[in-house]
Amino acid sequence: MPRTTARPGSRLTLNRFYAAVAACALSYLTAYLVLLDFIRWAGPDRADAAALGYIAATACLPVLIVTGFGGRAWRRGLLAVGALGVLAALGCFA
């Protein structure tokens, strides 16, 4: 009886898709936490800090996505983006 198996490349494609989704999600969360850090650290003028935080989050989001997904080994990139997210969370909630 013949075994039905997937093509060898299909599993790799699926893993890359999951890595891209995870990189986008972690990058968005990290950029959002950076925005919250800007707002939290602001003095009495939170509107200007929010505008600056939006600029910083928008600028760092593509860099985080490329770092999370485009590394030589995708796990290293995801770990780097996750570590930056943890640092941003510690700055936000501390």
Across the chain, which has 94 residues, the per-10-residue mean pLDDT values are 62 79 91 89 83 91 88 79 90 70
What is the structure's pLDDT at 28? 94
Residue 23: CB atoms within 10 A of its CB come to 23
What is the structure's pLDDT at 58? 92
What is the structure's pLDDT at 68? 86
Q: Round to whole Å and give the CA distance between 26 and 37.
A: 16
Amino acid, res. 12:
L
What is the structure's pLDDT at 61? 92
